[in-house]
Amino acid sequence: MSRKAKYQYLLSKSVQAVISAIEIYNKPDFKYREESFTILMVNSWETLLKAKIVRDSSNDLKSIYLIDKSAKTAKGEPYKKPRFKKNRAGNHYTIDIFSCLKKMQIDKRLAENIELLVEIRDNSIHFYNESKLFEKKVLEIGTATLRSYVQCVNKWFDYDLSQFNFYLMPISFFHTHELQSFSINSEDLQHKNLLAYIAKKENDFPSDTGKEHNISLLLQTKFVRSNSIDSLNVKFDPNSNITINVSAEEQFRNKYPWNWTDKLLPKLKELYSDFKQTRSFWELKKELEENKEYSANRPLDWNKPNGMKKQFYSPDILKEFDKYYTKNVYPNNSLTLEYGDEYSKC
């Protein structure tokens, strides 16, 4: 059986490290979550960068060995060929992650993201980190780094990571007032210095999802209406510790997506064989418009709440029209048209 190329061993080690980082972070109760994640993630990036350097150097491990610039011959002269440093066990030292970044000349945003991870790792190893702001920043920086990691592995090695779930779960939720109460000024000096350093980097490289790489990515949880049988049912418990903020405009649009001219009227004409805009129809329509379950009006301009308003409708209004009109039926296949955003004709 043929042996794998040397860079492939490094690539495999890198993937194992990143999976371990994610698994540890996503554990429901792990007291050293953020620190362990950053330590393993830095190790994963360093090993991945070395795998790329070795592969691009015709699979030569010397490309990542650390040169001993102080080595001299017995006569005290420099060697003509480079000598490499060795550790106490007699194995070769390899270049550090910053040397890897410099040697590869990768995207500036990606390099800054990795350097932030290293800074967090160093603070984790040499000091303690116990801060809600710190936890939030690790989540944002970690999300950005995982996104970049997947892109780099696919681009550099054509390695399929689709078998793994590469995401971090934002396990902790806080009330809005609690999040606002977290202030960098209330942190101890070490945390304050680290958070200020992260803030400066984020200010220099603002998040932009249009970019291939980012320093950090802000996570937002959104709830959307779905008719899919696979969708998750969500119920809000007023006694829970979770605060959900929903845009008023988005909430209105989700509940009342149809206007009269472009949506509701065409649906009525499609669905019912005996539909006519008679006086009784307009009376029924007016009556249903007074029911907030089926209809509501909103300002044409949200910034001018007292300006002109327009009526919008929920698709559920068709349930009421069903009581008064006869649905169309295709005689060839006896398919009754159903209402909804889309329907198929067999």
What pLDDT, in 10s, does the model give residues 62-86? 999 988 877 777 777 777 778 888 8
Based on the domain organization, do 164 and 310 belong to the same domain? Answer: no
319, amino acid identity:
K
Amino acid 260: pLDDT: 93
Residue 341 lies in a domain: no
In angstroms, the Cα distances linking 159 to 2, 40, 50, 117 are 20, 20, 16, 23
What pLDDT, in 10s, does the model give residues 225-240? 555 544 445 555 555 5
Mark which of 204, 228, 258 sits at the end of a domain. 204
Residue 46 lies in a domain: yes
Based on the domain organization, do 168 and 57 belong to the same domain? Answer: yes
Based on the domain organization, do 39 and 170 belong to the same domain? Answer: yes
- The CA distance from 296 to 225, in Å, is 18
Residue 240 lies in a domain: no
Q: Exposed (0-12), middle (13-18) or buried (19+): which is 44, by Cβ within 10 Å? A: buried
The parent domain of residue 264 ranges over 248-336
Total number of domains in the chain: 2
Residue 218 lies in a domain: no
Amino acid 202: pLDDT: 77
Eight-state DSSP code of residue 231: S
pTM confidence score: 0.56
List of the chain residues with pLDDT < 70:
1-2, 125-132, 165-192, 194-195, 197, 209, 218-247, 329-346
What backbone torsions phi and psi does residue 167 show, to the nearest 5 degrees? -150, 155
Amino acid 222: pLDDT: 54
Eight-state DSSP code of residue 32: T
Based on the domain organization, do 87 and 194 belong to the same domain? Answer: yes
Q: First and final CA of the chain: distance in angstroms?
A: 55
Amino acid 305: pLDDT: 76
**Residues of the chain with pLDDT > 90: what percent?**
32
Based on the domain organization, do 193 and 72 belong to the same domain? Answer: yes
Amino acid 239: pLDDT: 55
Based on the domain organization, do 255 and 183 belong to the same domain? Answer: no
- The CA distance from 4 to 9, in Å, is 7
Based on the domain organization, do 147 and 290 belong to the same domain? Answer: no
Residue 184 lies in a domain: yes
Residues in the chain: 346
Give Rg (Cα) of the chain. 30
Mark which of 178, 204, 230 sits at the end of a domain. 204
Based on the domain organization, do 190 and 282 belong to the same domain? Answer: no
Based on the domain organization, do 136 and 274 belong to the same domain? Answer: no
Amino acid 183: pLDDT: 43
What is the rounded average pLDDT for all residues in the chain?
77
- The CA distance from 34 to 133, in Å, is 12
Residue 235 lies in a domain: no
Amino acid 12: pLDDT: 93
Based on the domain organization, do 200 and 265 belong to the same domain? Answer: no
- The CA distance from 174 to 187, in Å, is 18
Q: State both tokens at 274.
A: 């005996």
What pLDDT, in 10s, does the model give residues 166-214? 666 554 444 333 444 344 444 556 656 766 767 777 777 777 767 778 8
